[in-house]
Amino acid sequence: MERFCVGVDVSAKSFDVAFRGVKGRVEYETFANDGVGRRAFVKYLKKRWKLIRVVMESTGIYGLDLALALNKAGIEVMVANPRAAANFAKATLQRSKTDRLDAEMLLLFAERMPFIAWRSPSSAQLELRAISRRVQALLETVRAEKNRMHAAMHVEGTKVVRKSITATLRALAKQIAELRAAAVKLIASDPILARRNELLVTIKGVGQVSAISILAELSVLPADMTDRQWVAHAGLDPRDFESGTSVRSVPKISKRGNRYLRAVLYLPARVASRFEPNAAAFGSRLKATGKEPLQIHVAVMRKLLHGIHAMFLTNQPFDGRRLFPPTAGAVGTSGIASSAISEVSIAN
């Protein structure tokens, strides 16, 4: 029996659905992106068709609940990589961009491209990511409050304000500590998470705090993703722009990916570049070829992500000699360096 294909474009408050009607023409529906809307969408699909395949784009938190609802209802879901969807849209000469057109493009994607079913993360993995992202949000608030304290210290008559900021910082520190303790307990209760946490802390530059954040973002990814797909997911893949012989921009990272993962890799890569001998040697080789410090740093971030993928795959601890071999040509450093960026901001 032929499977019925549906394309779904998800936004914060709603999601648009595209499918083929009785005469083969594309039809559209819109549902609220909340519990009621998601249940209505599942009921709508099951009332009309038996075998259904839904393709939606990876949109982070906005699409996760919908993918979980569909998966729980026994409906096959594919969460397409945003870059793959964007390239497909270009190939089909999509010139305008609206929610309905994006849903129709995903419908065509479902009909023409290989279908890769999405696997739902475990409850422990989802909870860990929720905790980690809450900690990141609180840390951003801490930074903002510290900036306000710095300003208040240079203004007369702000004693009450400084007292308020101090109290807020103490409360935030307590919440962060409690959340991190809950994350550690959650990791210890899951054998896979516990083992991967042990592997992560064998990397010089990755402590328990960084390990929680890295593990939280990576554990919800499909198990069959390659290391190159991890790099693309983090937005650390190269983005070249050139046309003819006259237009050629400096290569940059795409930043079309998980900003949380990209941000949490920043500090471990900086520490590894200084204190992990093989990473330091790798950086020195790139510097000798004329690469800028930030280009080198991003190259190390990418290498660390490749290394973590290999560690999880082989269940072996970190080995800097294998990740950063002494012979530059053996590891393709020129390709890695050429994709490094010359921008100041990595996380955003």
Q: What pLDDT was estimated at residue 334?
A: 35
267/81: higher pLDDT: 267
One-letter amino acid at 58 equals S
Q: How far is 171 from 91, CA to CA, in rounded Å?
A: 52
Give the mean model confidence (pLDDT) for residues 21-40: 91
240 has pLDDT over 50: no
The DSSP bridge partners found for residue 7 are 18, 55
250 band by pLDDT with thresholds 50, 70 and 90: low
* Average of per-residue pLDDT values in the chain: 85
Residue 154 burial by Cβ neighbours in a 10 Å radius (0-12, 13-18, 19+): exposed
Task: Please say whether the beta carbons of 136 and 260 come within 8 A.
Answer: yes
Q: What pLDDT was estimated at residue 239?
A: 56
Q: What pLDDT was estimated at residue 327?
A: 64
Token pair in block for residue 91:
């190939």
Contacts of 333 (CB under 8 A, 6+ apart): 282, 285, 286, 299
Of residues 29, 62, 67, the one with CA closest to residue 48:
29
221 band by pLDDT with thresholds 50, 70 and 90: confident
Task: Read off the pLDDT of residues 290-331 as tens digits, 9 standing for 90 and up.
Answer: 988 888 999 999 999 999 999 999 999 999 999 998 764 444
Q: For the chain, percent helix, then strand, then coil, each to nearest 5?
A: 60, 10, 30
Q: How far is 343 from 116, CA to CA, in rounded Å?
A: 34
247 has pLDDT over 60: no
Token pair in block for residue 173:
């520190």
Q: How far is 346 from 348, CA to CA, in rounded Å?
A: 6
Phi, psi (rounded to 5 degrees) for 249: -95, 165
The DSSP bridge partners found for residue 28 are 18
210 has pLDDT over 50: yes
Q: What pLDDT was estimated at residue 336?
A: 38
Q: What pLDDT was estimated at residue 337?
A: 37
Look at the domain 4-112 and name its fold. Nucleotidyltransferase; domain 5 (3.30.420)
- pTM recorded for the entire structure: 0.74
Task: Read off the pLDDT of residues 59-72 as tens digits, 9 standing for 90 and up.
Answer: 666 788 899 899 98
Least confident of 109-113, 225-229, 320-324: 225-229
184/331: higher pLDDT: 184
Q: How far is 241 from 177, CA to CA, in rounded Å?
A: 44
